[in-house]
Amino acid sequence: MNDSSRQTDSFLPFTRPNIDEETIAAVAEVLRSGWLASGPKVAQLEAQLSQYLGGRPVRSQTSATAGMEMALLACGIGAGDEVITPALSFVATANVIVRVGARPIFVDVGLDSRNVDLDQVEAAITPRTRAIMPVHFAGLPVDMERLYAIAGKHKLRVIEDAAHAIGSVWRGRRIGSFGDLVCFSFHPNKNITTIEGGAISGGTPEELKSIELHRWHGQVKSGVDGFDTLLAGGKYNLSDVAAAVGLGQLKRLEGFNARRRALVARYFELWGKDAPLRLPERGDEGHSWHVFTPLLPLKSISRPQFIEAMKARGIGVGVHYPAIHLFSAYRALGYREGQFPNAERIGRETVTLPLFPAMHLQDVERVVAAATAIVHGART
C-alpha cells in the first residue's frame, strides 16, 4: 500500500472492510450460478479454514454468536450450569450462556490486556461450573497454557470467544489450531469478513454432528425423500454468497494482519511513553489487532466530548465495550456496580480509534495529532 497518497479532507472511520474486485467478481459468479444458499463455496471455505488452522475440523455459521451458542449446546451445557466469562466483551459472549439456560459467572479483566484474569477464573469455580469462555480481546491471546491447565485440573470445557482473533498466534501456534472449541467472527468490522458469519474450529465427531443439527433445524435426511428432526434446531447455515466473500478475504488475511500491526506500531511510536491516553497492552507479533482501544483521561474530557471533537476533525471513534454486568439484563441476575473495577473503568473510558488495513501511516499521524490536541486542550 502506498502511504504517500491520501485525502486529508476525507472522513476517517474507525473501521472499514476491504473488499477487492476479484472478490466482487466471485460473488457475481455465485449469483449467476443459481446456488445461493449453503453449497460448494461453503464447503470450500470450511476446507480452506481447516487447512489454515492446521487441519482441525471447521464448521461455518451465520455469526460467532450462533457459533458460541451451538458450541455450548454441543458440550451439553444448559439449565443449572455455570460458565465463567469476562465482564468485558461484546454482550453476545454472555447472552449465549443465558440463552442455553446456564448462568454467566463474570470475572474481571486486566486493565491493559482486557483479557480475563485467570486468578479470578480459578477462584470462581464451583461444583456447578461446566466451562470457561475466555475472550481473546482485540486479538491478544489469553495465556493458553495456564487457561488449559486450569480447565484440565477442574475437568472443564473451554469455549474460546475468538471473535477478534482470526490470525492471532500463541507461541507459534494459531488460535483455533489447538484447544477445545474455538469460535471466530467474520462480521464486517472483523479482520476478515463474510458480510455476516463465523466459524467453529475443533470438536469431536459427536459435537460436530450436534453443531450441524443445531445449524439446520435438527434435520437429517434418509434416501431421496426421507426426513427426520432429531432436535429443535435453529437455522444458522452460511450462504455461498457469504462464503465467496470469505474465500477472497482469507487469501488476504496475513497481509491484513501485518498491516494492522504496522499501523499499531506507528501509534505506539508516535505516542511513546507520553501518550495523553492510556494505551492497551502491546503484546507481540502474535497479536492480530482487531481494534485499538486506549483509555481516555476522564478528569480532562468526557467521552462524548472527545467523540464529537474527533468527529469535527473528520475522524470516527467507536466504543469497545461497556462492562456487561452493568446492563439491565445482567443487573437483573444480581450483578452490581463495583464488582469488577477494571471492566467498569475500561467500559467508562475506552475509545476505539481508527484501525483497518486500507489506512495510511499518515492517517495514524492525523489521529494522534487530533487526539493529543483535544486532550491537551481540554486540560488547559
Q: Determine phi and psi for 129, rounding to 5 degrees.
A: -70, 130
CA contacts within 13 A on the Cβ side of 378: 20
Nearest in space to 19 (alpha carbons), one of 192, 235, 266, 236: 192
Q: C-alpha dihedral over 137, 57, 214, 227, to 10 degrees?
A: 160
Clarify whether 251 is annotated catalytic.
no
Cα separation, 168 vs 139, whole angstroms? 6
Residues 6+ apart with CB under 8 A from 79: 101, 102
SS3 202: coil
Cα separation, 10 vs 213, whole angstroms? 47
- The answer to whether the beta carbons of residues 93 and 81 sit under 8 Å apart is no
Which of 153, 190, 251, 311 does the annotation list as catalytic? 190
Q: Tell me how far CA of residue 13 lies from CA of 166, 167, 253, 365, 377, in angstroms.
A: 22, 23, 20, 15, 23
Cα separation, 352 vs 15, whole angstroms? 9
CA contacts within 13 A on the Cβ side of 306: 30
Nearest in space to 63 (alpha carbons), one of 254, 249, 239: 239
Q: Determine phi and psi for 35, rounding to 5 degrees.
A: -110, 100
Please give the grid coordinates belonging to residue 287. 497479536
What amino acid positions are annotated as catalytic residues?
Answer: 190
